[in-house]
A and B are shown apart, each in its own frame.
Chain A
Amino acid sequence: MASQQFCTFLLDGYLFGVPVPQVQEVIRFHDMTPVPLAPPAVEGLINLRGQIVAAVDLRRRLGLAERTAGELPVNVVVRTPDGAVSLLVDEIGDVIEVEQSTFETPPETLHASLRATILGVYKLDGRLLHVLDKDKACLAADLEPTAAGR
């Protein structure tokens, strides 16, 4: 297990990635049904060929700045123990292969909202690849599911 392939994507300028086998598919922006009362990070529900999949806005989930209006996110559909979940990201990147030796756990100083959902970083040439803990990221229930939260 010296190297691993990651599906990468951009969020607010940061490079994130999830291991390729965990990704079911990547689709363009999809029409979404908002869910009132849902946790704020849950953007809505999409119809993925007959399967109803919740879309989690990763920017909101990770406490990053809101996407500017008019910018359409991309759906990265990941497999989780509770079925598929779509992660909304800014832009999809390449599939890259990283060396295990370049991995480091996140620094202590990382913002708390990120620490819980980031497993660590791979030091690439000139930039860092944040490894997302997709199962935790999908657990939007951690965030207060109130209408007032909106």
Chain B
Amino acid sequence: MDEIVKDFLIESNENLDRLDQELVKLESEPSSKELLASVFRTIHTIKGSCGFLGFARLEKLAHAGESLLSRLRDGKLSLSAEITSGLLAMVDAVRRMLAAIQASGQDGEEDYAPLIELLTRLQGEHAVASAAAVSPKLPHSLPATVTQAEAITTVENAPQPLPDPSLGKPGRKPRRRKESPDATTVDPQKLATMTPPPATHADQASAAAPPAPESRNPNAAVETIRVGVTLLDQLMNLVGELVLARNQLLQFSNSTQDAGFQAVSQRMNLIATELQEEVMKTRMQPIGNLWNKFPRTVRDLALGCGKEVRLVMEGQETELDRTIIEAIKDPLTHLVRNSMDHGIEAPETRKRAGKDPAGTLTLRAFHEGGQVNIEISDDGAGLNGPRIRQKALERGLISAQQATTMPDRDVFNLIFLPGFSTAEKVTKVSGRGVGMDVVKTNVEKIGGAVDVLSTPGRGTTVRVKIPLTLAIIPALIVTCGGERFAIPQVSLSELVRLDAEDQGKGIELVHGAPVYRLRGRLLPLVYLDRELGMRREAGNSASQTAAINIIVLQAEDRQFGLIVDEITDTEEIVVKPLGKQLKGINAYSGATIMGDGRVALILDVPGLARRAKVIAAARETAHDEGHSEAAAAGIRDEHALLIAENGTEGRVAIPLGMVARLEEFPRTVVEHAGAQEVMQYRGQIIPLVRLSAIVPATSDAEMLANAGSIQVVVYSEGKRTVGLIVDRIVDIVEERATAESLAPRAGVVGSFVTQRHVTDLLDVPAIVRAAVPGLLDAAEPEAGRV
């Protein structure tokens, strides 16, 4: 049976039990608005769910009950004994239908027409009665008795047999049991009238069979019980403790010779391990549980938008913590709807594009690096890069300069900004511009990340990366100042170890702020002990002979290096919250218990970065010069290359890592200092280097002279900054450039092919040195001083 139907059964059975109690209670307190509202909600929920699951008969019955209740709720009708029994009869009928669903997957074939008729009649007749006799101010004094008296007559006059006219009394359950046999004896007869004409005794006999499988299939409600997550958490805590005690026991048993004791502790060891695994499992659920509803969503949406879509699901068995499944439910639904609405094209469009008219929507889930990856891919039209650029520009989300220089990958991620929508029209499904930002926020809330990849005409893939569980995370255990700290692996990029002899060249200072050159890029460094204000014990200082451990961490869009005394291990840790006394400190996100039973603090990487002003600084630059975000994103990739035009024909590439900024200036900013072209830039005078002067190219001099602005690639080394004037910035590509050297040329490492053009890979430091001799060399002693 479908997981979703099972859930529905469990939930409905629970609801029905409550309904029994509430209806009975309602009879004694007919004026209780709260009770009435609650009963109404319950019936409404059942009606809604069975409509969704396609149990039409059940829905019809629940609908009749709901209509009756809505009149009661609106005060158009007051509750009488008859209405109560009518409602209870409905509850019982619903229960029988649920049992039928449980047994056969169908909502039974019992005829509920008389009951529905009764429920409908109860609405009408009493409306009249109450209109005539009930003054709304006195719902349960004299008029109530009048209705009750009438109720009895209605029961007597009722032409159809009532399922059970007995009034709601305490102890409903035994009554229900008694009733069940009645129901089954009624069943075959009703069934006989509905089965095809040849139906005879044989059919009746087979119709009477259902109770048998029912007893073989015990109630789903009995097979599963609902347990609070808090209880499971407690259980996990205790198991964690047990594991620790077990470890100590094992150590102890190793030091004794008692064979009996060793055997017992060995068994204890196995049991504890198994117990731990099982308890962990209680919180895990396959993602398939969540995906089960998508086939229907997709089908309905496809019908709604007139598209043909095939849904492919891979990795349904991938398990996730329950709380995470809950948290990603809405974001995933949204992404699926989005792909359906915007991604996959209409069948005719697809045919014209030479694609299969039926689109494919693929959901993929897999584990990778301690995280769960969920991909929602479609083979639709892909994201429209130029259009996103244009929209983002219109809305002022990016600057004109960014619109031209931003790499596609970053452009695509603009769709996650609030209020962004490129949809031509707002449809029922999506296009209002809310949603993608909510998706991103929700995913990030649970420590995940969203990324979008798209190829025009080929489709879009949204990748959601989420932690396996919120309760247990892989972490790096480090030691600093004699204490252990855990660093969540999610924020970890890499580890760098500087041996004693490398230290001199490793760590440099920029205005007193320590930095490390990580593959040619400056990485701000943070000393954990200083940041936490820990007292240094003598002989423990980082500036001494011992090797330096740098943990490269990712906080928001920034990388920074955290210096610790020692890197111990990676471990799965159980995250526990900190008490109120320590909530105010942004350096920790929680605490955990280590193998030896001691507590270790979990570092809050973004918090720490903010404390150390790593992120705040990053934000500032992002504001005053919007491009840096895109640049930062590119820099992370070593193979990102900035492609520029040199002259009308030549193309050059500069490793993006060497580019501090890309700027566009009016031609008039160029001034002269002696023969050197210079410009004022951020309170500095920077020399300008014309690329064409160093790397000759066929250039259209007239065109250059007429151009109103210049494109400047700002290059920094140490404290020195140089502007490199190029003719036009073309693109940023990600490519591992294997440059071949055709003929040695000044300032060119070699040539390679990208975007079908031969492109020269520039040696920027060499160009700068050639153009402004002595500039960089003069800067070096200063930068090199540690």
Contact = CB atoms under 8 A, between A and B. Distances in A.
B241 interface: yes
A50 B238 contact: yes
Nearest to B611: A37
B578 A54 contact: yes
Interface centre among B481, B532, B579 (most CB of A within 10 A): B579
B324 interface: no
B584 interface: yes
B576 interface: yes
Contact of B591 (A42, A52, A82): A52
Given A82-B580, A148-B533, A37 B585 contact: yes
A33 B600 contact: yes
A51 B599 contact: no
A53 B599 CA distance: 10
B237 interface: yes
Contact of B581 (A32, A47, A140): A140
A44 B584 CA distance: 15
A94 B30 CA distance: 56
A147 B579 contact: no
Contacts of A150: 533
Interface in A34-74: 34-39, 42, 44-47, 49-54, 56
A50 B240 contact: yes
B494 interface: no
A82 B600 contact: no
B483 interface: yes
Contacts of B532: 36-37, 147
A42 B582 contact: yes
B483 A147 contact: no
A137 to B, nearest CB: 11
A31 interface: yes
A121 interface: no
B581 A52 contact: no
Most chain B CB within 10 A, of A33, A38, A47, A51, is at: A47
Interface string B551-592: 000000000000000000000000011111111110110011
Given A51-B237, A145-B584, A148-B533, A33 B601 contact: yes
Contact of A46 (B483, B534, B588, B599): B599
Interface residues of B, number: 29
A54 B238 CA distance: 19
A39 B583 CA distance: 11
A147 B533 contact: yes
A52 B600 CA distance: 10
Contacts of A54: 578-579, 581-582
B610 to A, nearest CB: 13
Contacts of B588: 35
B598 interface: yes
Interface string B716-733: 000000000000000000
A45 B602 CA distance: 12
B237 A38 contact: no
A143 B241 CA distance: 33
B591 A45 contact: yes
Contacts of B238: 49-50
A9 to B, nearest CB: 20
A148 B534 CA distance: 10
A83 B577 CA distance: 11
A85 interface: yes
**Most chain B CB neighbours (cut-off 10 Å) among A39, A42, A44, A54:** A54
A52 B576 contact: yes
B597 interface: yes
B593 interface: yes
Contacts of A145: 584-585
B579 A83 contact: yes
Nearest to A54: B579
A85 B241 contact: no
A116 interface: no
Nearest to B529: A36
A89 interface: no
A132 to B, nearest CB: 16
A42 B109 CA distance: 68
B585 A52 contact: no
A84 to B, nearest CB: 9
B585 A45 contact: no
Interface string A118-140: 00000000000000000000111
B280 to A, nearest CB: 15
Contacts of A96: none
Contacts of A95: none
29 contacts: A31-B597, A31-B598, A32-B599, A33-B483, A33-B598, A33-B601, A35-B582, A35-B585, A36-B481, A37-B585, A38-B582, A38-B585, A45-B591, A46-B599, A47-B593, A47-B597, A49-B237, A50-B238, A51-B237, A52-B577, A52-B578, A52-B591, A52-B599, A54-B581, A85-B581, A139-B581, A141-B580, A141-B583, A150-B533
Interface of A: 31-39, 42, 44-47, 49-54, 56, 82-83, 85, 138-141, 145, 147-148, 150
Closest 5 CB pairs of A and B: A147-B533, A36-B532, A50-B237, A33-B599, A50-B241
Given A34-B483, A35-B582, A138-B581, 17 more contacts: A33-B598, A33-B601, A35-B588, A36-B481, A37-B533, A37-B585, A38-B582, A45-B578, A49-B237, A49-B238, A52-B576, A52-B577, A53-B579, A56-B581, A85-B579, A141-B584, A145-B584
